[in-house]
Structure 1
Amino acid sequence: MKKMTLPIKEILNMMVSFDKKYGIPFPVSTEIIYKWALGTDLPKNTDTVIYTGGLYQLVPYIKEFTNYLESIEEAKGTSIIMKFGERFISLTDFFAKIVVNVSKDELEKQYSIIRNIVELIKSTGTDFGYLYDKDMYTGVLLFDYGLKDAFKEHAESVHKNLKESGVKAVITIDPHTTYILKTIYPKILKDFNINVINYLELLYKFKMKPKREIHESFTIHDPCYYARNLNIITQPRELLLNGGVKINEPFRTKELTFCCGSPVETLSPSLSKEIAKTRLEELVLTSDRIITMCPMCNLSLSRVNEKNASIEDISEVLKKIYL
């Protein structure tokens, strides 16, 4: 059966509308971004902060949204498309129902990953805090989709928030947030002089000493922004090798890494799936234990993981070695 074409213009307009209302391109309370840190001892008023950008936290919601769009793609006829096409932006109530479907266990898993990263950063002796309710999404999806005006407006809000919070340096935890803050914001924003370092760069810089060697074997998947744009390639590998990990390199790796299928999943779930299948098939040729370094890569590959390969975030493995 031929798949239906999604109303891309309406989807993009909807995302811009949600972003203006919620600060993220989905109708989700911003509480989910900082809820992981409640009850921790992270100070609030510091000039160096861990900056999550909300991507790990948004993964369960993106997953449900993508599943919904996939059901539209696979629907027979055009009735659903016509029904939702012109009224996409007004469907906040409907998308609120999608939010209800998000698994608390899945959200807690993402929170756990962030807490692991926090403990890894703490082990370096670095003094840092957290912005809590001012930890804002960077607008990366708007950037990826070429929504220049909406992205610029969003970026200006983030910059203003950082300046008002007295932030001078941020420690990022995913490739998308790192790339946007380190590379794109300085190009489009006046006086953006905040120091940006990714936590993998930070751990590598401090020459972390392993507490144990785990002698496990993994295939490593490089996210595009890390490998192609930020040159974060050696750092994660050295951190793993120091802990006795055997790294299996897939056919396309490092600077020549292959796309995981994201972020096109919110415009064409079927295309995203085909790309992810190609990549996962390539990865499992060397090992059925896979390390990802990006929440979106993990989500994309997990969506097509029919052979039940083990797909772990790198922080979960580093925790075994260094904590």
Structure 2
Amino acid sequence: MLSSLNYNRLPIPVERGVCSEWARGMGIPESGDAVIYTSCLYQLVPYINSFTGLMEKAPPSALGPLVNRLSHLVASFARVALKPPRSEVDRVNGIVRAIATLLIRNGVKFAYMPDEPYSGALLYELGFEDDFKEYFSSVVLSYFRSRGIKNVITIDPHTHHILTVVAPRFFGDLGLRVVNYMELIKGVDKAKVSRVVIHDSCLYSRYLGMRNAYRVLLEKAGVEHVEDPYVTGVSTSMCCGGPVESINPSLSNKVARLRIDALSKLSNNVVVACPICYANLSRNSGGRVKVLDLAEVLTGAQ
């Protein structure tokens, strides 16, 4: 991962162009008072799924060498080796476009960053704090400061957690005003989906105080969200298994399937608001449920 971050500022070796493909044709400027910071997480989902598939097929003793070899591949070859289906690439780009569309509909003016760096969240979440601090300081913070960026709109819980909790703990005041896109959405149209179950992001629900943000937006869109004290409770709901996929993909997939089992008892429409949850649950849904991102529901894309 460090090799890839040093090479192209992304946690897996893919072409950097995949991060900005979503913005084509939307007329969003490349500079402005506020920027949308995707951290390329949604856009990487198809490649993460392909990468996880390769890792799961390898015996445990071969995982280290496999990851090391892939991290040294040039981006263009890695993209071929990982072979994400075009439909998956289009789907995740559509999710980011849906988020941007919601912001535009609500009168939010923002720019995007074609060459934005990954936040480094995975380094921190895997316990590599020293590597995270070095990367965040020299790459992410340097990027924002060199461009005079002061206002940042995040679109996923991992990046939001890094910018609002983790990095300030290490570096103090970052000089950034960070807001999540859900906090800027005041009005939404009636959704096509009428009844769903929410799979909560652990970060949004337990650590960032944003558990109700997406519930309120769904209610405004006329969507009933089915709740259960054990399946969707703040302290009892399960993780999607995504955080361990880079270490033990088989375990990650088993956790995801258990989560699908529980969620499917409440609804066959599962709403997520996190790209890692989207990746892990959709990869393991087995056709039993339809995994929808919040932005897809709120824009009527799904």
Instruction: Verify the 8 A CA contact 1:54 1:137 in the aligned structure 2.
Output: yes
**Equivalent of 2:258, from 275, 278, 281?**
278
Give the 5 Å matches for 1:164-243.
Answer: 164-203=146-185, 207-208=186-187, 210-212=188-190, 214=192, 216-243=194-221
**Equivalent of 1:25, from 6, 11, 28?**
11
Instruction: Give the Cα separation in 2 of the matches to 1:95 and 1:196.
Output: 31
**Structure 1 residue 276 displacement after superposition:** 0.7
The aligned residue for residue 145 of structure 1 is: 126
Quickly say closer, same or farther: Cα 1:223–1:213, change in 2 above 3 A: closer
Instruction: Give the Cα separation in 2 of the matches to 1:33 and 1:285.
Output: 35
**Structure 1 residue 310 displacement after superposition:** 1.1
The aligned residue for residue 105 of structure 2 is: 123
Cα deviation, 1:31-79, whole Å, max 9, x if unaligned, reads 21112213321112212111101100110111111000100138xxx6x
Residue 44 of structure 1 pairs with residue 30 of structure 2: yes
**Equivalent of 2:93, from 103, 111, 116?**
111
**Structure 1 residue 245 displacement after superposition:** 0.8
Instruction: Verify the 8 A CA contact 1:169 1:196 in the aligned structure 2.
Output: yes
**Secondary structure class of the residue paired with 1:266:** coil
Q: Larger deviation: 251-260 or 22-31?
A: 251-260
Instruction: Give the Cα separation in 2 of the matches to 1:57 and 1:86.
Output: 26
Q: Larger deviation: 182-191 or 158-167?
A: 182-191
The aligned residue for residue 264 of structure 1 is: 244
Instruction: Verify the 8 A CA contact 1:22 1:30 in the aligned structure 2.
Output: yes
Residue 301 of structure 1 pairs with residue 287 of structure 2: no
**Equivalent of 1:318, from 284, 298, 302?**
298
**Secondary structure class of the residue paired with 1:187:** helix
Quickly say closer, same or farther: Cα 1:244–1:87, change in 2 above 3 A: closer
Residue 61 of structure 1 pairs with residue 41 of structure 2: no
Instruction: Give the Cα separation in 1 of the matches to 2:142 and 2:74.
Output: 32
The aligned residue for residue 154 of structure 1 is: 135
**Structure 1 residue 104 displacement after superposition:** 2.0
Instruction: Give the Cα separation in 2 of the matches to 1:214 and 1:87.
Output: 43
Instruction: Give the Cα separation in 2 of the matches to 1:112 and 1:213.
Output: 16
* TM-score in terms of structure 2 length: 0.91
Aligned residues: 295
Structure 2 residue identity aligned to 1:192: L
Instruction: Give the Cα separation in 2 of the matches to 1:32 and 1:310.
Output: 25
Instruction: Give the Cα separation in 2 of the matches to 1:125 and 1:43.
Output: 15
**Secondary structure class of the residue paired with 1:170:** strand
**Structure 1 residue 90 displacement after superposition:** 4.3
Instruction: Give the Cα separation in 2 of the matches to 1:173 and 1:111.
Output: 13
Instruction: Give the Cα separation in 2 of the matches to 1:186 and 1:150.
Output: 16
Residue 99 of structure 1 pairs with residue 99 of structure 2: no
Instruction: Give the Cα separation in 2 of the matches to 1:98 and 1:277.
Output: 28
Cα deviation, 1:94-148, whole Å, max 9, x if unaligned, reads 9865521122221111111111110101111122111222x21101111111111
Quickly say closer, same or farther: Cα 1:136–1:310, change in 2 above 3 A: same
**Structure 1 residue 172 displacement after superposition:** 0.7
Instruction: Give the Cα separation in 2 of the matches to 1:59 and 1:87.
Output: 19
Instruction: Give the Cα separation in 2 of the matches to 1:188 and 1:212.
Output: 42
Structure 1, unpaired ranges of 5+? 1-14
Q: Larger deviation: 55-64 or 124-133?
A: 124-133
**Secondary structure class of the residue paired with 1:28:** coil
Structure 2 residue identity aligned to 1:280: I
Instruction: Give the Cα separation in 2 of the matches to 1:103 and 1:277.
Output: 22
Cα deviation, 1:76-97, whole Å, max 9, x if unaligned, reads xx6xx2xx75585344339865
Instruction: Give the Cα separation in 2 of the matches to 1:177 and 1:141.
Output: 10
**Secondary structure class of the residue paired with 1:311:** strand
Higher Rg of the two aligned structures = 1
The aligned residue for residue 58 of structure 2 is: 72
Residue 132 of structure 1 pairs with residue 118 of structure 2: no
Instruction: Give the Cα separation in 1 of the matches to 2:24 and 2:167.
Output: 29
